[in-house]
Amino acid sequence: MLINNPIIPGFAPDPSIVRIGNTFFLVNSSFHLFPGLPIYASSDLQSWKHIGNAFNRPTQLSLAESSALIHDRGAANLVAAGGLWAPTIRHHEGVTYIVCTNVAHPEVHGKVTRPRFDNFILRTTDIWAGEWSNPVPFDFNGIDPDIFFDDDGRVYIMGSSWDTPSGAINGFEVDVTTGAKLSEERVIWTGAIKNTPEGPHVYKRDGWYFLLISEGGTHEYHQMPMARSRSPLVLYESYDGNPVLKPTANLETQIMYTGHGDLFQDNEGEWWLTCLGVRKVKGSQSIMGRETFLTPATWTSGDPENSWPAIQQPIKPVLDLPKYTSAAEPSSLKGQLTAQAGVDWVWVRDPDMTLYKIDDTGNSVSLQACSTGVQVKGVPASITFIGKRQRQLTGRASAVLRRAQLVGKNTLSGLMYYKDEHRHASITFNSLASTVVFEVVNRVKREPIHRREIVCHLNFAGEAVLNDLEFLLVHTDLCMEFSYRSCAPVSQSGEVLEAEWSAAGSFDTGDMSDHDFTGPCIGLFAGHAVDSREDVSTENLWCEFHDVDLL
């Protein structure tokens, strides 16, 4: 069987997986994006479909305090976005559960002092329908919760506690209906290398409770050790052969930073690990961010007293696994990710949904311009942006702006590449100045990048009909190129001509490769060209796009 890694390409870190019947369901972190906690389904571990999002109603929770913080980490800065971190998905007695942390970065006197961790439980009895509950909060000062249903009916939460300087994995019994703690919270393991233990998952096998975690941070020294105990809340004993998934800092590999994974069995009883990883493009460039990978695992011995998982290092994009079989016939969709209509649109933080209009096909999108630039916070200062996660290293995105109704109005609208408020690039039409503008911003770099160029002044003199303006982004593993053209130029004889693309600007993908948590989205943006002025109306300025293609 061929596994085309990553199985979930693009912005898809911290995977957790569960098998319900013959179908696998996988969830990822989503950080500052709404909707969040995307759910993917597969029957063969090869082809996956985005079927919905567990966080799909603005009333469920708020991402208003999910700003991205820049931390000094020596050779390179680390970008730590807030929002929804490291979910775990499990199924028990007809109910599917997700536990997760909403990490908030509240400001006090204009500065973020310490993050706040809002941990919660979601549930549904029909994962296909996407009807997830409101969050049930539980008290835990930490991140990355795991939920474990024991054979005796008791339920436990294990998570990465922030109550100690070097971190620890803590656990306690919980009431899944109310979120109430039913036992004292205890330290159950401090990790194999005592360096940022996080991402715990507990599995019961042959009378042992096995605890799989990640350590070493989420980049060069990311690794996965394991421990076990005879009781879920009694101190776990570390495996002598740790780590079961090694760090990639010193490996010649095409996939870097692997870790934060979840073990599971397929329909035939074979074991697998799904984990995050980063595809290396050039040097240490990683334009796609952290993605979801799959790799086989086996248990080392038939003797329960000496049995531990051996996990194959996911170092290549394609795994050829002759020992594994698949009942499904090969098809052209193997290894491709598809999406149910409409579920893959994303907004930033707490969007005001009255500012967006999308037709049933997704080809026509309108945004109401209501902000200046790319803001940091939620409503009402959330960026007016709608897009999709970038899924392929090589591809193109385009959209056509109806500009006639915007001329002379205070709008700046166009096509945007977006990671967070510190890192973005765009090609836009400034309708107040009648200019095309190209901009690249990365404030995370040691030497920050900010290039803003007026590409051209559009001359409307003598133009009977104002042609629409088409924007194009062509992206490869090494470069992002923005272009524009008049959508329907007309010659003096009245013949409709095929317009040529004009280059607006480009940037090397290394300019947007950082040590970070998130990944790129490509979409449409609308804001004000200038701050509100008495002589410029800013009310009801709708920017209409058609022929939208963000694949």
Q: Report d(CA 46, CA 277) in Å as an integer.
A: 17
Count other C-beta atoms under 10 Å from residue 540's C-beta. Answer: 9
Q: Report d(CA 57, CA 130) in Å as an integer.
A: 11
Angle at 462 between CA 457 and CA 468, to 5 degrees: 60
Give catalytic status of residue 14 as yes or no.
yes
Give catalytic status of residue 163 as yes or no.
no
Query: Can you spell out the DSSP letters for 447-505?
Result: S-EEEEEEEEEPP-TT-SS---EEEEEEE-SSEEEEEEEESS-B-TTS-B--PPPEEEE
Burial of 189 (0-12, 13-18, 19+ CB in 10 A): buried
Secondary-structure percent of the chain, ordered helix, strand, coil, rounded to 5: 0, 50, 50
Closest CA to 86 of 276, 314, 338: 276
Q: Which tokens belong to 221?
A: 């020294």
Closest CA to 28 of 227, 393, 232, 293: 293
| Active-site hit among 14, 65, 185, 516 | 14
Q: Report d(CA 94, CA 355) in Å as an integer.
A: 38
**Per-residue b/e over 44-59, b at no fewer than 16 CB within 10 Å?**
bbbbbbbbbbbbbebe
Closest CA to 276 of 3, 12, 30: 12
Say if CB 394 and CB 545 are below 8 A apart: no
Q: Which tokens belong to 504?
A: 């607006």
Burial of 337 (0-12, 13-18, 19+ CB in 10 A): buried
Q: Which tokens belong to 327?
A: 């009942």
Q: Which residues pair with 438 in a beta bridge?
A: 427, 453
DSSP 8-state secondary structure symbol assigned to residue 402 = -
| Active-site hit among 146, 198, 215, 514 | 198
Q: Which tokens belong to 143?
A: 């991140």
Catalytic residues: 14, 198
